Structure formats: structure tokens, C-alpha cells
């Protein structure tokens, strides 16, 4: 039996060979320029977090088309050149949404409902974007179609569990057709309360969603799940027990023979425990933002830098993004081990906009 904790043992995701089971979670931080191009300090940001070789990095939100965007200074991948065009919610291009339901925080800002033809177009855009990049797939708009709190449609995309589930498999089909299942993944967050989401009982519905993927796409690279313990997903313990949900979680139980990445307020101790007991990968958001050498710090049990929340969403600003320090012993450790920096695997996370929001929480 290996003396190395499973969290730090080599593993594989799709066709990617990794040195550990720690993952950079998707973190949208608005550092792209006004034309949705990545900036030099975005390159530096990922370079810093690639300091521990063989670590999986999932990018921030990357929009698949101008019409599918909703946030300024988020990167886009709708063409090789990604020319500047108005994004959804900007002048001349109204906000799209699964159903015209306003957020409780901005009740007068009612989004525009997508037409059936537009839904089909968005599915095609996913395939086009997939051909432009290595990817991991998850999307706000997908979640809007899935959940009954945001989808009150009465056609084939709304109403029953089966109908609300139509769009997600269609999009995954398009991405798989473009780049193959081993380079395709999806992130699901049934317990997330952000943007007025979270069904009263998401368990039956998301169980059905995963069953659909199991029938058609057993060889997806991974399922990325946000646990009920995550920030903005927290639910009372008695509620979780009543729903039959607890760690290791709903998605792990349904996808346990395949790769699962779990996100949700993990620290070193809980990450070691879940990896050891379930073989899941564990992704970190805020700790990775504050600690570019997070994998090394977790491995060596070095205290972590605290996140600087006032810097999280500063458009085109390096402060708190590429200015956090690394432990001085980390680079010496890599050299002793014979590692070269920058040997990580990256996955582009592109998605449709949640459309109604003015920011992304991660």
C-alpha cells in the first residue's frame, strides 16, 4: 500500500495523465479585455497555477458566441480571432434566457426568452467552440433549462423532467461529435442558490439527468459536481438528510465507477479524506486564487494565503490575481524532483451565459 495519500497519486482524466487529484476550479474573474481576448496577465495567472506539474486546470467561463455572452471582460472563443462584437446584455443585443423570469434582486430586468430555433443554434455553437479548443463543458443556460425554478416552458423544452433535460444531452452530443467523449465533460450544481436557482428537491431530476448521460456517454472525461456544502449551496443538515444527500454526494453515487471532480468548501483534511475514501478529484477555487502553488502547499501542509475578496472581480486588474506569493521552497522542491514548470494539463470551460447576472461567483 502506497504511503503517498491518494490525493497526490498519479491519475487519469479522459486522455490526460495527471500527477495528482487536485484541480483548479473554474473561476471567472473578468480579466479579459473589452474584445473578450485573454490578456497577458491571464496567461501569467495560469502559468503560475501550472507551477506543480501534472495538475488539471479548468479555465474560467469562455463564451461560445457573442449572443451567448452576458458579462464584459470574460473571454470568448467563437472564432479563431474572436473579433469584438456586442455581447448579450450590451447595447444592441438583448439578454437571452431559458424563460423570461427576472431575478429577485433586479425584478424589473426581465430577460428575453430564447426561441426554439435559437436553442438549436446554441447547440451548434457549442460544437463550433469545441473545435476551437480543448474543453470542459458546463453552462449557466443549461442549468436554467434543467431546473423548474427557471424553466416554465410548456413545449418540448419545459414541463416534465424529461422535457427539461432535452437541451443538456443535445449540447453534450454536439460537443462529443466535435472533439470526442474523452475531451468532453459537464459541470452540474443542483444545490446552487445563486441567481435564484435551486429546486425544492433536485435529487430526482438530476438523478434522471445523469442516467441520460450514462445511457449515451459513459466515457465522458468527467462529471464536475458542486456539493451542497459549497458556498452559495449550503443547505441545513436536516434538509440534506431528508433529501438523502450527504458527502460523497449525489453525483458520486451515480457516477462512481467513472471520474468525478467534486467542488465545495474543501480544506486539506477534507480533500485528503474524500480522495482516499472515494477516489474523487477535488477542485479548489478561492484557495487556488490566493495560492498559486496550492498543490505544493497542500502536499507539504504549508499554511495558505487568505483570499482577498475585494480583488475577486476587478476587470483587467492584476491585483490579487497574479500578485499572490508562492512559498519560496516550492521551486526548489520542483528542481529536486526533476520537474519543469508549466507541465500541467488545461481544459477550456466554455458555456452559455446565465444572462441575467452581472457577475460570476466562484
- Assign 3-state DSSP to the chain and report helix, strand, coil percentages, each to 5: 35, 15, 50
Active-site residue 140, yes or no?
yes
For residue 201, report the phi and psi dihedrals to the nearest 5 degrees: -140, 90
| Number of other residues whose CB lies within 10 A of the CB of residue 358 | 14
Using CA atoms, how far residue 160 sits from 151, 156, 184, in Å, is 10, 9, 26
CA distance 205 to 162: 9
The whole-angstrom separation of Cα 63 and Cα 36 is: 9
Q: Which of 45, 122, 126, 140 is catalytic?
A: 140
Q: What is the DSSP string of 102-140?
A: --TTSTT-PPEEPPHHHHHHHHHHHHHHHHTS-EEE--H
Cα–Cα distance between 197 and 349 in angstroms, integer? 21
Residues 6+ apart with CB under 8 A from 28: 60, 61, 71, 74, 360, 362
Catalytic residue ranges: 140
Amino acid at each position: 500500500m502506497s504511503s503517498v495519500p491518494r490525493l497526490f497519486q498519479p491519475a487519469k482524466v479522459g486522455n490526460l495523465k495527471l500527477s495528482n487529484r487536485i484541480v483548479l476550479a473554474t473561476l471567472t474573474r473578468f480579466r479579459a479585455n473589452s474584445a473578450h481576448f485573454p490578456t497577458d496577465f491571464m496567461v501569467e495567472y495560469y502559468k503560475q497555477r501550472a507551477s506543480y506539474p501534472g495538475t488539471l486546470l479548468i479555465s474560467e467561463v469562455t463564451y461560445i458566441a457573442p449572443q451567448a455572452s452576458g458579462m464584459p471582460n470574460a473571454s470568448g472563443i467563437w472564432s479563431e480571432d474572436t473579433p469584438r462584437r456586442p455581447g448579450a446584455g450590451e447595447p444592441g443585443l438583448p439578454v437571452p434566457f431559458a424563460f423570461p423570469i427576472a431575478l429577485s434582486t433586479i425584478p424589473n430586468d426581465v430577460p428575453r426568452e430564447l426561441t426554439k430555433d435559437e436553442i438549436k443554434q446554441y447547440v451548434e455553437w457549442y460544437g463550433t467552440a469545441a473545435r476551437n479548443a480543448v474543453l470542459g463543458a458546463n453552462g449557466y443556460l443549461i442549468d436554467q433549462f434543467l431546473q423548474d425554478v427557471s424553466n416554465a416552458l410548456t413545449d418540448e423544452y419545459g414541463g416534465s423532467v424529461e422535457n427539461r433535460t432535452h437541451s443538456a444531452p443535445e449540447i453534450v452530443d454536439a460537443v462529443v461529435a466535435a472533439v470526442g467523449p474523452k475531451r468532453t465533460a459537464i459541470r452540474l450544481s443542483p444545490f446552487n442558490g445563486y441567481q435564484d436557482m435551486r429546486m425544492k428537491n433536485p435529487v430526482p431530476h438530476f438523478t434522471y439527468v445523469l442516467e441520460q448521460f450514462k445511457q449515451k456517454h459513459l466515457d465522458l472525461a468527467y462529471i464536475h459536481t458542486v456539493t451542497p456544502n459549497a458556498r452559495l449551496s449550503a443547505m441545513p443538515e436536516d434538509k440534506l438528510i431528508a433529501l438523502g444527500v450527504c458527502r460523497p454526494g449525489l453525483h458520486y453515487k451515480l457516477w462512481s465507477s467513472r471520474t468525478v471532480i467534486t467542488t465545495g468548501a474543501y480544506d486539506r483534511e477534507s480533500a485528503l479524506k474524500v480522495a482516499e475514501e472515494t477516489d474523487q478529484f477535488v477542485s479548489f477555487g478561492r484557495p487556488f486564487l490566493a495560492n498559486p502553488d496550492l498543490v505544493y502547499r497542500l502536499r507539504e501542509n504549508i499554511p495558505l494565503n487568505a483570499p482577498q475578496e475585494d480583488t475577486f472581480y476587478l476587470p483587467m486588474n492584476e491585483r490579487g490575481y497574479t500578485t499572490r506569493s508562492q512559498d519560496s521552497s516550492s521551486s526548489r522542491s520542483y528542481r529536486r524532483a526533476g520537474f519543469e514548470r508549466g507541465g500541467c494539463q488545461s481544459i477550456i470551460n466554455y458555456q452559455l451565459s446565465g444572462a441575467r447576472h452581472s457577475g460570476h461567483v466562484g
